[in-house]
Chain A
Amino acid sequence: MTADVVATRRAAPRSGARRLLSRHWYAWAMTAPVVVVTLVLVGYPLVRGVYLSLTDATEATLGHTIGMNVIPDRYEFVGLRNYADILTSSAFLGRLTWTVVWTVVCVALHVGIGLGLAMLLNRPMRLRALYRILLVLPWAVPAFVSAFIWRYLLNGEFGVVNAMLRAAGFAGISWLDDPFWAKVSVIACNVWLGVPFMMLALLGGLQSIPRELHEAAEVDGATPWQRFRHITLPGLRPVSSTVVLLGTIWTFNQFPVIFLLTKGGPGGATEILVTYAYRQAFEGIRNYSGSAAWGMVILALLVVMATVYRRALRQQGEAW
């Protein structure tokens, strides 16, 4: 970071809180709004979520008001029972496995296809601007609209995908009603949605690699593969490390695609952790405490993942 205007660390002999305050009060004041908002809007619910996850609060035991009658809370503290239930349940391992498969497959396809298209676009040619706009289109459509579009395209009876399959002489596939094909469908929809962002981000990264590097390597007789391996990939690192992290988090938490395309079905086949936790809390008998505990488990997984990722980057001398 070059922008260290006030060079706060230049000469900072430790001389007490007053000195720190006079030196940094404006920085602290400027960050205060976000810190306060985050503590109130995120911190407090988070603490309450932790508390709820340690109780047996459900729709039946949570206090509510019917007309004039206020029914008080009747839920009790149950310690780690919800967590024990989750970790020993068969649902946990099944959901976790599918969530990891879903995240890895989607991010790999996003980055792979995105990088391929970015490299195709990163060269002078006719119609480049047009291709770029057409390829970005899926990102421009709101995700919930895309989920509905795909639900229609993949409809078993009158979806166009099956109509084309039938026209080509194959049998139609019940895309959203078969456990395996439903998984393929949600991945296809999410890949379609997510490639444009990766493509644009990686295209920006490619364009920041000095052209001279490629030319010098070519003069030295490097093959295209060697140039890709030793110039393109390292040059993309600052961008790719960020977008892979972002993409992983987004995909792990991708609620709309699953929820609107398959509702987690058929029979829970496409249910990822996030949609599962959501449905615990808001469908059937609302199990608030169980859902809160699922939320904490999900958060723990994400924090572990981000920590490992950041540490790996820092070892390579990047990031803060």
Chain B
Amino acid sequence: MVSPAAPAGAWSRDRRSPGRSIALHLTLIAASIVSVFPVAWLVLTSLKPRTVIETASVAPVDHPTLANYTQVLGETRFLTWAANSVVVSLMTAVLGVLLAATTGYAVSRFRFPGFRSVMWMLLITQMFPVAILIVPIYNLMAGLGLINQFPSLVIAYLTSTVPFCAWMMKGYFDTVPVTIDEAGRVDGLTPFGTFWRLILPLAKPGLAVAAFYSFITAWAEVAYATAFMTGDDKYTLAVGLSQFVGQHKAEWGLLTASSVLIAIPAAVVFLLVQRHLVTGLTAGATKA
């Protein structure tokens, strides 16, 4: 991942004195420790037996064991919750991208009456705190008999992912050269044809990033999931895990082991795509 060219605005290495160089590395090392330590401690704790976890011991490694993991996988509903989370998040991501793709393209390419209203709508709905919609949506879902059903969660998540995906994809479409559209139009394609045959294939990475972002948004959502999912066979991971550390007892061993099981795949995928995520999040507005 070493970047081939020196980044713009950077100073060359040989102009830095040894003292400044050491200070630079020390600062970055300190920051890296702060950033990594909580996660590292989580992993180490998950490998300790319960009797050691619940003491004030600070030894990084102490009687290492996989007991917490076998207990999480064998004696709790962790796998059910994980499957629930995957189903809900996947449905949210796919629906979000499908619904939002053409809008992202339209607001990227066309100026039409209502353009500013649409942009405002996309921005405002992203700002909606959970507190505004959760009560009415809860009541509507209760009326439809959907409480404790996955569709209620997917619908709740779509309220934020659809505008968000449209916003992100606008940013991505902005980076696709307009000359491609023009070539398509010259060749007689309709705007839809241009979008479908030329732009969409080029925008696959952008779609993937928007889908991924929707996925992790749904995956990590707490408020709706806590309020809507009432049976422990329907919990998502965020709700299920909080059962381990309730008001009266705290199963830190189970909590840390399941956290590791969730965090490791999430972190690996995340680190692979994070570069695109930042571009997607900021491009939408910088190019507007």
Residues of A within 8 A of B (CB): 1-6, 8-9, 20, 24, 26-31, 33-35, 37-38, 41-42, 44-46, 48-49, 52, 62, 64, 117, 120-129, 131-146, 148-153, 157-158, 160, 162-164, 166-167, 192, 195-197, 200-201, 204-211, 213-214, 232, 238-239, 241-243, 245-246, 249, 252-253, 255-256, 259-260, 273-274, 277-278, 281-282, 288, 291-292, 294-296, 298-299, 302-303, 306, 319-320
Give which listed residue, A38, A121, A144, A200, contacts B222 with CB less than 8 A.
A144
A158 and B56 in contact, given A142-B220, A150-B38 (Cβ under 8 angstroms): yes
Contacts A1-B287, A303-B124: A208 and B185 contacting too (C-beta < 8 A)? no
Measured between C-beta atoms, what is the minimum distance from A269 to chain B in Å? 18
In the bound complex, CA of A46 to CA of B142 (Å): 16
**Contact assessment for B140 and A45 in the assembled complex, using a CB-CB cutoff below 8 Å:** yes
B42 beta carbon closer than 8 Å to chain A: yes
State whether the Cβ of B216 lies closer than 8 Å to any Cβ in chain A: yes
* CB neighbours of B158 from chain A (8 A): 37, 41
Whether the Cβ atoms of A140 and B132 lie closer than 8 Å is no
Most buried by A among B191, B222, B282: B282
A192 touching B35 by the CB < 8 A rule?
A: yes
Most chain B beta carbons < 10 A, residue from A42, A137, A200, A278: A42
Determine whether the beta carbon of B106 is less than 8 Å from that of A41. no
Instruction: Decide if A148 touches B255 in the complex (CB within 8 Å).
Output: yes
Give 24 A-B contacts (CB < 8 Å), ordered by A residue: A27-B115, A35-B118, A35-B121, A37-B99, A38-B121, A42-B125, A45-B140, A46-B132, A123-B10, A128-B2, A128-B3, A131-B32, A137-B39, A145-B263, A148-B255, A205-B282, A238-B285, A255-B129, A256-B238, A260-B242, A277-B131, A281-B138, A295-B133, A303-B127
Interchain nearest-CB distance for B223 vs A (Å):
5
Assembled-state Cα–Cα distance A134/B3 (Å): 16
Does B54 reach chain A (CB closer than 8 Å)?
yes
Q: Pick the residue among A38, A201, A296 that contacts B278 (CB under 8 A).
A: A201
**A62–B139 CA distance with the chains assembled, in angstroms:** 9
Number of interface residues of B (CB under 8 A): 119
Residues of A within 8 A of B125 (CB): 38, 42
**Residues of chain B whose beta carbon lies under 8 Å from any beta carbon of chain A:** 1-3, 6-13, 21, 24-25, 27-28, 31-32, 34-36, 38-39, 41-42, 45, 53-58, 99-100, 102-103, 105-116, 118-119, 121-140, 142, 155, 158-159, 162-163, 166, 174, 178, 181-182, 185, 190-192, 195, 216, 219-220, 222-223, 226-227, 237-238, 241-242, 245, 252, 255-256, 259, 262-263, 266-267, 270-271, 274-275, 278-279, 281-282, 284-288
9 additional contacts (CB under 8 A) given A1-B288, A120-B28: A30-B102, A30-B103, A45-B140, A138-B35, A196-B35, A200-B275, A238-B286, A288-B138, A292-B132
Bound-state CA distance A33–B45 (Å) is: 47
User: Total number of A-B contacts with CB less than 8 angstroms?
Assistant: 350
Which residues from chain B contact A126 at a C-beta distance below 8 Å? 25
Find out whether the CB atom of A259 lies under 8 angstroms from the CB atom of B223: yes
Q: Are A37 and B162 in contact (CB under 8 A)?
A: yes
Scoring A38, A121, A281 by chain B CB atoms within 10 A of each residue's CB, the highest score goes to A38
Q: Could you tell me the distance in whole angstroms from the C-beta of A54 to the nearest C-beta in chain B?
A: 12
Chain B residues whose CB sits within 8 angstroms of the CB of A9 once the complex forms? 111
Q: State the majority secondary structure of interface residues on A.
A: helix
- Are B28 and A122 in contact (CB-based, < 8 A)? no
Measured CB to CB, the nearest residue on chain B to A305 is B127
- With a cutoff of 8 Å between Cβ atoms, the chain A residues found around residue B39 in the complex are 137-138, 141, 149
B278 touching A141 by the CB < 8 A rule? Answer: no
User: Which of A31, A204, A213 is B103 in contact with, Cβ under 8 Å?
Assistant: A31
Closest to A213 in B: B9
- State the Cβ distance, B277 to closest chain A Cβ, in Å: 8
B171 CB to nearest chain A CB (Å): 10
| Given A9-B111, A249-B126, A320-B139 contact (CB < 8 Å) | no
Q: Give Cα A246–Cα B164 distance, bound, in whole angstroms.
A: 12
Find out whether the CB atom of B266 lies under 8 angstroms from the CB atom of A204.
no
